[in-house]
Chain A
């Protein structure tokens, strides 16, 4: 075996060494944070509605990583009915998410069916348009200040087999992605 192959082999090993040290380090990790809020709206109509405040600080996964959060991004959201006055329906079942001030809406979503039971055990994914997603993500960009929301559940022109009063308990769910630094 010629001496040149010896050097070739040394070069090979050196290259392998460089490959090892040249790999990307883990800089960020991502964590899905599921958020949910039960909302009960009760009243005599014509509209019944209720609001609840949701804050990231209500969730351990956020609090445990609070110092390492670099960004938060909206992933998806959904609504389903837990209980409702028998036959409850209206001209619209509407979910609205506001900024933490409870004044500025981030999105309003009107369910395709205005019958509460249609969403019992059958959650509806709230498909937002790009503008609504951008608005949400812009709000989340300043997550240190904007870490709360107000969620509203409203049934317009409510009627039911029984009542008034009418009542609906629904659950609003949202998943956001936390970008964490290591």
Chain B
């Protein structure tokens, strides 16, 4: 099962190497409240990922313009998101030492009145590269951005992705502004569902990511662009999964499909970057200060 999950993710998220494969296996060991803490960095990661790369310029012409971009992001997961303090909600298992989150390293094992409770290991990753493609068309200073990957079924799972962005140039309403200003809204949704025969492997996730930003840019000599912006964003994963209870400590929850909702910790983002235009080709790099520091670079064709 793990292989097929990995294949699926590599295909569906292009260069993204983070997989739900082991996440699915690991999460089956945790009750919802603990699964939420364990997987929180994943929700934040998906937010950092999908809420990146929305712009490299605030300039939008009145004439029709089309862009196709390939965006690469390098996301750094801070140490503070590598561990969490477990609270299994069982008498005799209080004040526990920290254990790994999904991006951390070693899952801890705790001994209490009912024996061991074992927490899952993480992926042991401090940074992750990702990639995505997008197309955008604008007219009269308003741009529609689309990201899409059709729902596909590979082996025993199904995944799909879509993203939508709407951007409007404020500059056009201002007389002779010193720089360009735009506002943008981004919505991105990523879904994954296990569709195989083993009900004990069931995992379904729905990642919803929203961002609203204001950004500005200044173009020098028609080819060099400096840009920056502030963004409010949120990310959330709604997840259903089969809880196996391998520690046999939650008889009322065991062997059922449970639901939880995981909020990412990314809320504000400050972006600063630069781009160069070489005819129809645009190359850009920006730095994003947010819950997970992100470097984004893009290669775009702009007509």
Chain A interface (Cβ within 8 Å of chain B)? 1, 6, 9-10, 12-13, 16-17, 19-21, 23, 25-26, 29-34, 36, 59-61, 64-65, 68, 75-76, 78, 80, 121-123, 125, 171, 173, 175, 177, 180, 182
Contact = CB atoms under 8 A, between A and B. Distances in A.
Interface residues of B, number: 52
A29 B121 contact: yes
B214 interface: no
Nearest to A180: B2
B112 interface: yes
B257 interface: no
B57 to A, nearest CB: 15
B116 A61 contact: no
Most buried by A among B29, B111, B129, B131: B111
Nearest to B25: A31
Nearest to B299: A13
Contact of B17 (A25, A125, A173, A175): A25
Given A21-B129, A123-B115, A182-B2, 18 more contacts: A6-B276, A9-B285, A12-B285, A13-B283, A16-B297, A26-B17, A29-B121, A31-B120, A31-B121, A32-B29, A32-B121, A33-B246, A64-B200, A76-B111, A80-B115, A123-B113, A125-B111, A173-B115
A10 B283 contact: yes
A64 B299 CA distance: 42
Contacts, number: 124
A36 B1 contact: no
B118 A32 contact: yes
A117 B248 CA distance: 22
B111 A34 contact: no
Nearest to B127: A23
Interface string B266-292: 000000001010000001110000000
A21 B115 CA distance: 44
Interface string B117-154: 01111010101110100000000000000000000000
B107 interface: yes
B43 interface: no
Most buried by A among B22, B26, B200: B22
B220 interface: yes
